[in-house]
Amino acid sequence: MCGIIGYCGPLDAQKVLIDGLTQLEYRGYDSAGIALFDENSNIHFIKKVGKVAALKKVCEASPISSHCGIGHTRWATHGGVTSENAHPHMYGHITMIHNGIIENYQELTEAFHLKGKLLSQTDTEVSAAVLNELYKGDPLSAIRGLLSHLKGSYAFCIMFDDRPGEIYAVRNVSPLVAAYTGSGAMIASDLTALLPYSKKYFVVPEGKIIRLTAYQVSVFDICGNREAPDYMEASWNTDAAMKNGFPHYMLKEIHEQPEVLKQTVLPRLKNGLPDFTAEGIPDSMLKSVTEIRIIACGTAMHAGMVARSIIEPGLRIPVTVSIASEFRYEEPMITQNTLTIVISQSGETIDTLAALRLAASCHSPVISVVNVKGSTIARESDYVIYTHGGPEIAVASTKAYTVQIAALYLLFCRMALVRGLYTDEQARQFTSTLLKCSDTMEAMIGRKDLIREAVSHICDSPNAFFIGRGMDYAFSLEGALKLKEISYIHSEAYAAGELKHGTIALITDLVPVIAIATQKNILAKTISNIREVKARGAFVILLITEQTKTDDDLADLVIRIPETDDKFTVFPIAVVLQLIAYYTSVQKGLDVDQPRNLAKSVTVE
């Protein structure tokens, strides 16, 4: 949450910062601001409530000639959405931007007698004031002093008013990547802001202090000794983070799914069999674990629920799926025989990271399924399965979900193989069906018009229900989340069989119900549940496979997905659910890619 960028170099710093903030805006968009050293070494601030576009307008109206500056796009935590609370914050010699939460800011306010001296309600300004107190002309020693007082998570970029042309940065938990590019030194919350300038970058090591000048990026350890940064190469293109002609990132990312599914699966097939040698995942471990814990948040957690539906029945070992923010407080029983799987697109979600650390402390082997290379979750896991989804910019997760499921399906297949539950032939059949899901997704993308028609029955309704049983219920959870986050329609997912235990009281002829019925083993029962809501007047949109026979009066609108093995219906169904949410948001004239109150990467608890 919150996007940070810093730049020192020959280019127009104001432009570099605004372009970078535009790339990072999905991390938070309550307000935005920049601070720049001008050519006389004075610091100028521009802050605006609202989106980066508002800041850009002001900047363009009064450009500042600068080659060094920092910029921030905010997702509010401490203090409301006001220009006083927007970053950068200035206190004495210090100008600071921050992503994270300083938990002991109230104690620090008292300890450093800051009451009545602060302009904002933010924990960031408190940190700037403490740093100012400690600053006696040596930035490294003052920053070291500051760190000894702080509790919480942070990524800071700092300018000292008597050190023009220099930016300092430090982080704990909250992400930062940096690079010396062909055109200067850069630092940012994530890679997408650096990509237009460099494919080589390094993850800022926690607790190390970074100094950017126009000529270099230096890393200092806590004793002030220089260290060589550990550069890595991005596999994403600049293009991948652009809209490429689509009106929204979300639509572009929905369309990318058939391709990125193949990119995630194909490199892990050897003679048609799943193979995790490159990830170093030992078969002996996959064979010996006696239970699996899947932990994640939001859409990633829903991907885990889909995977659970095939892993537990397929491997006959217990599999639980936990919401990461709850997991730590459940006092979970984990042992070295528990395989922990954490799932995260960003690899930075703080609750997922905390859950990972807890599992690791219980000696459980941890596999993470992560999209962002080098992210904290990836680095702290014993093994990483990277999904090759490319950058996901829309706040609503789409392609990350389907590639996470594809990666988890491959892992399941490997486990079934090494545990003697699948023959080579069965495993090959499984992976070949998985690859064909690329076509079933493509087919649903081609049925956009029918899906748009369904949307006209949802748009004006304040409520919607998604129902299903078994795996279809897991899909419903994701459908409801997608719809509520970008259309603001109150959407609930319900296990279809559970409705009559209370919730069916809410069903009237004003409530559209999206019923998912792709699981043959439970089809008859799901159909009875659909009849129950239909009988209460609901407008039913039925999602079902091509060859499933239904009575004409069962639903008001039927969307059929290609016939496929029950385990794989998630892929075409996901596309339908994503497009339902997308077109609803578009039809309501909402901000599809940056829905209110949300941010792409949740790095605060």
The catalytic site residues sit at 2, 600
Output the smallest distance, CB 483 to ligand AGP, in A.
11
Nearer to ligand AGP, 176 or 533 (CB): 176
Dihedral sign computed on CA atoms, order 137, 140, 145, 147: positive
What distance in Å separates the CA atoms of residue 496 and residue 475, rounded to the nearest whole number? 12
Nearer to ligand AGP, 132 or 344 (CB): 344
- Distances 200 to 17, 169, 185, 371, 562 between C-alpha atoms, Å: 19, 19, 12, 18, 42
What distance in Å separates the CA atoms of residue 6 and residue 88, rounded to the nearest whole number? 11
What distance in Å separates the CA atoms of residue 232 and residue 246, rounded to the nearest whole number? 30
Output the smallest distance, CB 10 to ligand AGP, in A.
35
Output the smallest distance, CB 373 to ligand AGP, in A.
14
Output the smallest distance, CB 396 to ligand AGP, in A.
4
Q: Distance from first CA to last CA of the chain, Å, rounded?
A: 11
Backbone phi and psi for residue 292, each to the nearest 5 degrees, phi listed first: -125, 135
DSSP state of 136: S
Instruction: Say which residues have a Cβ less than 8 Å from residue 483's Cβ, sequence separation at least 6.
Output: 458, 464, 466, 489, 491, 577, 580, 581, 584
Output the smallest distance, CB 265 to ligand AGP, in A.
19
Contact residues: ligand AGP, CB under 6 A: 297-300, 344-346, 349, 352, 395-397, 485, 601-602
Nearer to ligand AGP, 269 or 295 (CB): 295
Nearer to ligand AGP, 287 or 596 (CB): 596
Output the smallest distance, CB 482 to ligand AGP, in A.
6
Residue with tokens 């082997």: 365
What distance in Å separates the CA atoms of residue 381 and residue 41, rounded to the nearest whole number? 44
Residue 259 in tokens: 């391709």
Q: Which residue number places its CB atom closest to ligand AGP?
A: 298
Q: Which amino acid is at 225?
A: N
What distance in Å separates the CA atoms of residue 367 and residue 383, rounded to the nearest whole number? 5
What distance in Å separates the CA atoms of residue 325 and residue 350, rounded to the nearest whole number? 9
Output the smallest distance, CB 589 to ligand AGP, in A.
20
Nearer to ligand AGP, 396 or 517 (CB): 396
Conformation bin of residue 114: beta by default, left when phi > 0, alpha when psi is -120 to 50: alpha
What distance in Å separates the CA atoms of residue 100 and residue 95, rounded to the nearest whole number? 17
Nearer to ligand AGP, 349 or 585 (CB): 349
What distance in Å separates the CA atoms of residue 450 and residue 265, rounded to the nearest whole number? 30
Residue 125 in tokens: 């300004």
Nearer to ligand AGP, 211 or 482 (CB): 482
